[in-house]
Amino acid sequence: MSSNSTSDSELAIARSLQALHTRVTQIITFYRQDLDFSLMVYAHWSAKDILGHLVFWHESFARNLRDIAQNQKPNPLKGKLSEVNQMGVDATHSVSIDRLINRLTAAQQVIDKHIFNTEVQLIPYKKGSRDYNRQEHLEIVAAHIKRHLKDLHKKYHLKYAET
């Protein structure tokens, strides 16, 4: 790989990381509002459950990235996606909004620390699922947060700024 394509790749990762920062900031801003987060947004998930779900996955991404960057064997989540999603909601159900925001921020800091490690080629998502390169993983996570943000804004009748 030429140094030019390497720098292009790292620049793309930097742009994707900035997009993820935007989404994380937007989700934190949403949950810092004085709203009733027990409101059901989906059939079985409240707004608070959605934050727990996002934190659970963000921590998984951060942990897998860190493990690979530190030459340790990652331990991606395992199970059917619906089961893993529910496991995340269940695991964070009794955690306060403030604590979830702190955990989200801490996971983002781990991602920030390791995402430019060029030794990291592929990051596992979930056992039984394909691995993603650094840029793909950033894009998937940003899109995931964006989808939930749009649903939250719609449910609360708030305007969603696309930025």
Establish if 162 belongs to a structural domain: no
- What is the C-alpha separation between 139 and 27, in angstroms, rounded? 16
* Residue 4: per-residue pLDDT: 58
Establish if 137 belongs to a structural domain: yes
In this structure, what token pair is assigned to residue 11? Answer: 């620049």
To which H or E segment does residue 130 belong? Answer: none
Residue 126 pairs in a beta bridge with 77
0.75 exceeded by pTM: yes
* Tens digit of each residue's pLDDT (9 = 90 or more) over 21-63: 999 999 999 999 999 999 999 999 999 999 999 999 999 999 9
In this structure, what token pair is assigned to residue 117? Answer: 């490690």
Establish if 37 belongs to a structural domain: yes
Domain containing residue 94: 3-155
Domain count, the chain: 1
Q: CA triplet 77, 63, 42: central angle to 5 degrees?
A: 55
Establish if 79 belongs to a structural domain: yes
Establish if 163 belongs to a structural domain: no
CB 114, CB 120: distance < 8 Å = yes
Establish if 72 belongs to a structural domain: yes
How many Å separate Cα 120 from the centre of its chain? 18
Establish if 161 belongs to a structural domain: no
- What is the C-alpha separation between 6 and 94, in angstroms, rounded? 44
* Tens digit of each residue's pLDDT (9 = 90 or more) over 126-139: 998 899 999 999 99
Establish if 14 belongs to a structural domain: yes
CATH number of the domain within which 128 lies: 1.20.120.450
* Tens digit of each residue's pLDDT (9 = 90 or more) over 72-122: 999 999 999 999 999 999 999 999 999 999 999 999 999 999 999 999 999
Q: How many residues does the chain have?
A: 163
